Amino acid sequence: MLEALEALEKRRAAARAGGGEKRVAAQHAKGKLTARERLDVFLDEGSFEELDMYVEHNCVDFGMPEQVVPGDGVVTGSGTVNGRLVYVFSQDFTVFGGSLSERHAQKICKIMDMAMKVGAPVIGLNDSGGARIQEGVASLGGYAEVFQRNVLASGVVPQLSLIMGPCAGGAVYSPAMTDFIFMVKDSSYMFVTGPDVVKTVTNEVVTQEELGGAITHTTKSSVADCAFENDIEALLAARDFVDFLPANNRTGVPARPSDDPWDRIEPSLDTLIPPSANQPYDMHELIVRTLDDGDFFELQPAHAGNIIIGFGRIEGRTVGVVANQPMVLAGCLDINSSKKAARFVRFCDAFEIPIVTFVDVPGFLPGVGQEHSGIIKHGAKLLFAYAEATVPKITVITRKAYGGAYDVMASKHLRGDLNYAWPTAEIAVMGAKGAVEIIFRSKDPAEVAARTAEYEARFANPFVAASKGFIDEVILPHSTRRRVALGLRKLRNKKLENPWKKHDNIPL
């Protein structure tokens, strides 16, 4: 019996050693943690239960039978984050560069299947050189098996990808189909074709970081949601982030105790709106003063800054926040902001997360570039997402809500449950000056000025919309948190179903 136990310990030690001391040292020299060290940081202490530690590849070509490492380049299993169950895989770059083989893929598929069975999030720590070339099409088949599970799990269990090293070629499409992607600056990158191929085909000279680094993907492409300075920061942020997410699409949002009074009054909000309609203000001020303890996890903060998305809590329960940002492009909706918010709204709806929308939108961004790039179809994505959503939806209009953008931003007409406005809200087809110049285009300047003042008095307020029932109540800014909290409490048992369909056809 003792001999068997010793043999087991030797096998475990061999698996834990990964690619050996030299390769582990090389990993550390790059400022990166190993696969197992990452799991130690991410999961609750002592909670990790590993599966398939002894799995080996089955490749018989190119001398591979002589190169066998237990675990085959990925550590898989389950653990807890703040006491809540998650399933994880962590690719080990010290073993064959973390390349994906048939058996490596089978390990990942197994934990994804288990996560689906029990209803728990899947978190992937990606650090891989791509498909294992020695295995040829078998490794490509492995990728496709993972892709298929990403699709089946979408909207059923949350999926989070942490890119902590290379992720290139076909490997990028698994993270792309997960719900959220976090990256590490200067040590992680994602691209379909690398700099060498790009130079050969297009003669463009570009570095890995410029082509697919964390800054590129969190500012320009929006492929990734957040960029962090190092592995530790990314993993700790992921722990906080997972705390906001439901376990699956049936359990409802997680709740945790909060000492922040639900009816807290915020007098500072009464002076948030500047005297001039053209003067910006920071919508973050309203968001953090409405949420529990000012705790807001913003997503894609460096991309499409004219709209803000992220998670917070009210009365200890997760809410999704969407807000126009007057500090950027005056809060106009454009292509990037529409896509950014639409996907977030659809995630919230899939996982029964209530949506709170703060509106200050003067319209859609004008321009030839926007029109030619398809703002009609891209703007329709956000409209579609809000109209489709059946979760509780509470909307607060703070200042401008003009034109079609008023409709799009969770209006009453898109089945908004509670639609509030501040006294400073202006709900109209367009601003007074533009409206008068169209209606009275042939009049002299003095009459135009008088008509503009008349239009402002008539429409530059929330009461016309309120008189038609499009606004449920005009509220005092300082009571916003109390109103939203009370509304969410009332809507907790909301039931609403869309007509039966196999699936919708969102304007992609």
Q: Are strands 307-314 and 317-324 parallel, antiparallel or unpaired?
A: antiparallel
Q: How far is Cα 125 from Cα 235, in angstroms, rounded to an integer?
A: 9
Q: What are phi and psi of 77, to 5 degrees?
A: 160, -155
The mean pLDDT of 40-53, rounded to a whole number, is 95
Residue 2 pLDDT: 76
pTM value? 0.94
Residue at token pair 């579609």: 384
**Torsion of the alpha carbons at 438, 440, 444 and 449, rounded to the nearest 10:** -80
**Torsion of the alpha carbons at 190, 191, 194 and 200, rounded to the nearest 10:** -160
The mean pLDDT of 177-198, rounded to a whole number, is 94
- Grouping H, G, I as helix, E, B as strand and the rest as coil, residue 175 is helix
Q: How far is Cα 478 from Cα 290, in angstroms, rounded to an integer?
A: 9
Q: What positions carry a catalytic annotation? A: 169-170, 404-405
Q: Kindly report each contact of residues 44-47 with a partner whose C-beta sits within 8 Å and lies 24 or more positions away, as own/partner.
A: 44/79, 44/80, 44/81, 44/82, 44/83, 47/79, 47/80
Poorest-confidence range of 131-145, 172-186, 314-328? 131-145
**pLDDT category, 66, cuts 50, 70, 90?**
low
Which helix (H) or strand (E) is 400 found in, with range? strand 393-402
DSSP state of 412: G
pLDDT digit string, tens, across residues 84-139: 999 999 999 988 888 888 889 999 999 999 999 999 999 999 998 887 767 778 88
* DSSP for 125-166, written as a single string: EE----B-GGGTHHHHHHHHHHHHHHHHHTTTS-EEEEE-SE
pLDDT digit string, tens, across residues 153-163: 999 999 999 99
**pLDDT category, 433, cuts 50, 70, 90?**
low
